[in-house]
Amino acid sequence: MNKAVASTLCLLLLLGVTACVHDDSNRLQKQFEQGLAAQASATEALRSWCDLRGLAKPAQMTARLVRGADMLPPTNIQQLLNVPAGDPLAYRHVQLMCGDRLLSQAHNWYVPSRLSAQMNRQLAQTDIPFGKVISSIGFSRHPVTSTRGRDPACPAGTILANRAVLKNPDGRGLAMVVECYTTANLR
């Protein structure tokens, strides 16, 4: 076999391996996205994903509060949550962890008057994830946007950014969330 044929075969083999790795990565990201879309609670979806992928034992989610980095709410938040102008909103920025892995950063703007006093205390003072705190409400999730890659509200290294509105059973908005999912989900 001459050098040109051998080089061509090596190049084709290398490209084939690269294509297989890329296909596996795409397949894994699609599976991840489908898991998120199937749940009202991103926290529960991440816990299930963490368990399925064996990212931590046990697959327990915690929310590490990030203080001092408050973001302005989206300009259309009053409309999205159906909140009269002037009604107070609260903000919570957390890093969602499964074990020692940072799976997501989440920005939550919520309507305190639509939550119980105990829920508001838990959100202000604990590391319990937002979805878990409000789970007894029986909320539903309404996607606004989903973007592969980074959203302006997300840090570098974001593989998926979701914006959604969480509503209570009577259809009133509870929260607007921006979720920034990290590459740790695909490892």
Question: Chain-wide mean pLDDT for the chain?
Answer: 88
The predicted pLDDT at position 76 comes to 92
pLDDT at 13: 46
User: How many residues in the chain?
Assistant: 187
pLDDT in the model for residue 187: 86
Q: Rounded to a whole number, what is the distance in angstroms from the first to the last CA of the chain?
A: 40
The pLDDT of residue 14 is above 50: no
Q: Which residues neighbour 77 within 8 Å (Cβ) at sequence distance 6 or greater?
A: 83, 89, 109, 176
Residue-wise pLDDT for 109-129, tens only, equals 999 999 999 999 999 999 899
User: Tell me, what CATH number does 53's domain have?
Assistant: 3.40.1410.10
Instruction: Please give the tally of structural domains in the chain.
Output: 1
44 is in which domain, residue-wise? 3-186
70 — pLDDT class (breaks 50, 70, 90): confident
Place of tokens 């959203």: 151
CA 62 to each of CA 55, 58, 100, 164: distance values in angstroms, whole numbers, following the listed order:
14, 12, 10, 20
Look up residue 67 and give its two tokens: 């203080």
